[in-house]
């Protein structure tokens, strides 16, 4: 017979046990999320973008995500783009047929997780009329316009930070290549970053352009220092692999010296090369003038990974950019994607290995 006193005692013990187990589960999950130094947390990433409203929702996109997972990637970067008319416009809006719908973005997040990959959500801003300036030049003469732009930019980020939290996105990027706007340090430190942190509990980064990462003055508030690593590597069309590695080593020395001043693990939030001769000269350009050169693209991939793979301060990279069309890259294809090209074999070779 269970007395009232014994019953209450057993109930208390049972409830305490449940609380303890729940705490251990939550603590363990939180620890795994916050353990940035784990070798298993090295970000073997692929950038994944569409400029079609329902591009992420297609069966071809699902197939592309399965193919990304087969490269050994453990992260996929999902890119969604809003637009402003000019570099000096304050309004930031989606374009009906070009900005992926929320349903489409959510579908891609769910499919990526289903395929065993973590997600970086990376909202972009593009300039429609870039005659006088592009994304890097976004800026204003008067303070009123700066305030209006940051208000609109914060609303834009708020929408995706809420979505990222709801769908358990592992990493959120608060900006990409906003080289002039990123110098407005106070706005980022007091407005943008606190807003994102209040809405989203995961890790955050910023993607600075390769020629402007050292002008960012808010790295201390982020979890990773992100660089879109389109560093020029050659002055000729067809450099050798040794020449590419040598060029990267010089950049790596500069990046490592800078890393020591910021103390944040570095990720390459974008890196990539077109499959054309001359691709190593100006890697940020999608050029169609050179001859198709699949071997050079693969060599550029190998040189980057050979240089950075085992550097302790380097925490991952994201290759630009995989298409939602699963047959992309076949034939005489000159664009960035490594799909169906020798470059993807380099990705698989490196991504299948652990770091030293």
The full DSSP string for 29-79 is HHHHHH-TT-GGG-EEEEEEE--STTGGGSHHHHHHHHHHHHTT-SEEEEE
Confidence of residue 290 (pLDDT cuts 50, 70, 90): confident
With 70 as the cut, is the pLDDT of residue 5 above it?
A: no
With 50 as the cut, is the pLDDT of residue 119 above it?
A: yes
Q: What's the pLDDT at 225? A: 98
Please return the burial class of 22, using the count of CB atoms within 10 Å of its CB with bins 0-12, 13-18 and 19+.
exposed
The neighbouring-strand residues paired with 209 are 228
Q: Do 129 and 85 form a contact (C-beta atoms < 8 A)?
A: yes
**pLDDT (tens digit per residue) in 228-264:** 999 999 999 999 999 999 999 999 999 999 999 999 9
Q: What's the pLDDT at 11? A: 40
Angle value at C-alpha 162, between 28 and 33, nearest 5 degrees:
20
Here the tokens at position 1 are: 């017979």
- Pairing label, strands 75-84, 266-271: unpaired
Q: What's the pLDDT at 49? A: 97
Average of per-residue pLDDT across 271-284: 96
Q: What's the pLDDT at 40? A: 55
Confidence of residue 356 (pLDDT cuts 50, 70, 90): confident
With 60 as the cut, is the pLDDT of residue 12 above it?
A: no
Q: What's the pLDDT at 189? A: 98
Average predicted confidence (pLDDT) for the chain: 90
Q: What percent of the chain has pLDDT over 90?
A: 83
Residue 127 burial (CB count, 10 A): 20
With 70 as the cut, is the pLDDT of residue 140 above it?
A: yes
Q: What's the pLDDT at 8? A: 43
Q: What's the pLDDT at 14? A: 41
Residue 78 burial (CB count, 10 A): 26
Average of per-residue pLDDT across 126-140: 97
What CATH class has 42-351?
Answer: alpha beta
Average of per-residue pLDDT across 82-102: 97
Average of per-residue pLDDT across 286-299: 88
Question: Where do the domains of the chain lie?
Answer: 42-351
With 60 as the cut, is the pLDDT of residue 1 above it?
A: no
Q: Do 165 and 202 form a contact (C-beta atoms < 8 A)?
A: yes
Q: Note the pTM of the prediction, 2 decimals.
A: 0.88
Q: What's the pLDDT at 288? A: 67
Q: What's the pLDDT at 332? A: 77
């Amino acid at each position: 017979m269970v007395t009232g006193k014994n019953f209450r005692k057993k109930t208390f013990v049972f409830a305490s046990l449940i609380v303890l187990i729940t705490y251990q589960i939550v603590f363990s999950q939180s620890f795994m999320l916050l353990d940035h130094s784990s070798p298993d947390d090295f970000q073997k990433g692929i950038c994944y973008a569409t400029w079609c409203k329902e591009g992420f929702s297609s069966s071809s996109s699902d197939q592309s995500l399965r193919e990304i997972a087969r490269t050994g990637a453990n992260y996929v970067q999902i890119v969604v783009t809003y637009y402003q008319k000019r570099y000096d416009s304050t309004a930031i809006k989606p374009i009906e047929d070009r900005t992926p719908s929320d349903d489409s973005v959510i579908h891609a997040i769910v499919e990526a997780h289903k395929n065993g990959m973590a997600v970086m959500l990376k909202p972009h801003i593009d300039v429609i009329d870039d005659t006088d300036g592009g994304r890097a030049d976004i800026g204003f003469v008067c303070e009123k316009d700066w305030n209006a732009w940051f208000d609109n930019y914060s609303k834009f980020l708020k929408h995706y930070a809420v979505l990222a939290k709801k769908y358990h996105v592992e990493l959120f990027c608060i900006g990409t290549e906003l080289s002039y706007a990123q110098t407005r340090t106070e706005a980022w430190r007091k407005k943008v970053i606190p807003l994102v942190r209040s809405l989203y509990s995961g890790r955050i980064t910023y993607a600075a352009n390769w020629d402007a990462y050292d002008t960012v003055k808010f790295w201390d508030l982020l979890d990773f220092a992100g660089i879109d690593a389109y560093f020029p590597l050659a002055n000729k069309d067809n450099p050798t692999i040794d020449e590419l590695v040598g060029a990267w080593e010089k950049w790596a020395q500069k990046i490592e010296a800078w890393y020591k001043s910021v103390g944040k693990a570095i990720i390459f939030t974008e890196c990539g090369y077109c499959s054309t001769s001359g691709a190593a000269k100006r890697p940020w350009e999608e050029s169609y003038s050179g001859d198709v050169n699949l071997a050079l693209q693969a060599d550029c991939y190998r040189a980057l990974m050979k240089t950075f793979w085992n550097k302790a301060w380097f925490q991952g990279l994201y290759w630009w950019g995989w298409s939602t069309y699963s047959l992309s890259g076949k034939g005489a294809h000159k664009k960035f994607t490594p799909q169906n090209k020798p470059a993807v074999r380099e990705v698989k070779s490196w991504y299948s290995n652990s770091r030293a």
